[in-house]
Amino acid sequence: MLAPTMRVLLVKPKASLAIVRGLERFQRLEPLELGYLAAALPPHHQVRVLDLRLTRRPRRAFLAALATFRPDLVGFTGYTHERAAVKALAREVRRSLPRTLVVVGGHHATVAPADYNVPEIDVVVRGEGCGPFRSVVAAWEGGELPLGIPNALLTGEHWDAAAAAAWPRFPDPATIPTPRRDLWDPRRYTCVWVSENPAPWQELFPPVAMVRTSYGCRMQCSFCVVPFLCGGEHRPRPVEAVADEIAALPQRHVYFADDENFIDETFAAALADALAARGVRKRYFAWTRATTVLRSPELLRRWAEIGLDGAFLGFEFSSDEELRAVRKGGSVATNERAHDQLRRVGVACHAAFMVRAEYTVEQFERLRRYLAAMPPAQCSFTVCTPSPGTPDWHAMEPHIWVDDPYRLYDCMHPLTPTAVPLREFGRRFAALLATAAGKNPLRAERRPVRPWELGRVLLAEARFEAAFRRLHRDYPRELWG
Tens digit of pLDDT at every position of the chain (481 positions): 455 689 999 999 999 999 999 999 999 999 999 999 999 999 999 999 999 999 999 999 999 999 999 999 999 999 999 999 999 999 999 999 999 999 999 999 999 999 999 999 999 999 999 999 999 999 999 999 999 999 999 999 999 999 999 999 888 999 999 999 999 999 999 999 999 988 888 899 999 999 999 987 777 767 777 777 777 788 999 999 999 999 999 999 999 999 899 999 999 999 999 999 999 999 999 999 999 999 999 999 999 999 999 999 999 999 888 888 777 668 899 999 999 999 999 999 999 999 999 999 999 999 999 999 999 999 999 999 998 888 889 899 999 999 999 999 999 999 999 999 999 999 999 999 999 999 998 887 788 888 898 899 999 999 999 999 999 999 999 999 8
pLDDT at 175: 93
Ranges of each domain in the chain:
7-165, 185-479
| CATH among 3.40.50.280, 3.30.200.20, 3.90.1150.10, 3.40.390.30 for 7-165 | 3.40.50.280
pLDDT for the residue numbered 3: 59
Per CATH, 7-165 and 185-479 having the same topology is answered: no
Global pTM reads 0.94
From CA 145, how far away is CA 154, in angstroms rounded? 9
Q: What is the pLDDT of residue 328?
A: 66
**What's the topology of domain 185-479?**
pyruvate-formate lyase- activating enzyme (3.80.30)
